Amino acid sequence: MKKILLVLSLAASSMAPVHANNVAAGFVYDMGWGVGAQFNNNINVMVGNNGVSADYLFFQDAIDDAPLSWYIGAGGSAEWDGGPAARLPVGLNWNINQQWNAYGHVTPYLGFDDGAEFGLGAGAGVRYRF
């Protein structure tokens, strides 16, 4: 439980003031099926049936003449029945329209459950921007 609170408190403490139109929420598959939110277009938080994750997107760039952009982030996760992990999501964002977007990413991670181990995860979701 302490690991989960640590991840959530790190995500909350890194948030700048959030305006209403800078909040998006939706359904996600990342740490299992769950719900996720994005704040200020660069902080992603998700709670799923397998754990929680929080990422800061430090690089985003549009793809010319397309409603697509790609991103790289850094963050952490914690499984409900496992240890914490540092992660580096690399993904693609599709702006369907002004309020809806879909995204997918691959996530290399370094887990710290019974020693350090590398792994590769993936996630996808759909969000509605308020």
CATH of the domain at 96: 2.40.160
Reported as a pLDDT band with limits 50, 70 and 90, residue 20 is low
Question: pLDDT tens across 35-63, in order?
Answer: 999 999 999 999 999 999 999 999 999 99
pLDDT attached to residue 21: 67
Q: What is the pLDDT of residues 76-116, one digit of tens each?
A: 999 999 899 999 999 999 999 999 999 999 999 999 988 89
pLDDT at 18 over 90: no
Give the number of domains in the chain: 1
What domain range includes position 98? Answer: 2-16+25-129
Residue 114, pLDDT score: 84
DSSP character at residue 16: P
HSE-up (13 A, CA, CB side) for residue 39:
15
Question: Distance between CA 122 and CA 105 in Å, rounded?
Answer: 6
Helix (H) or strand (E) holding 61: strand 51-62
Q: What's the confidence (pLDDT) of residue 7?
A: 46
Quote the pTM value. 0.81
Tell me the C-alpha distance between 81 and 3, whole Å.
11
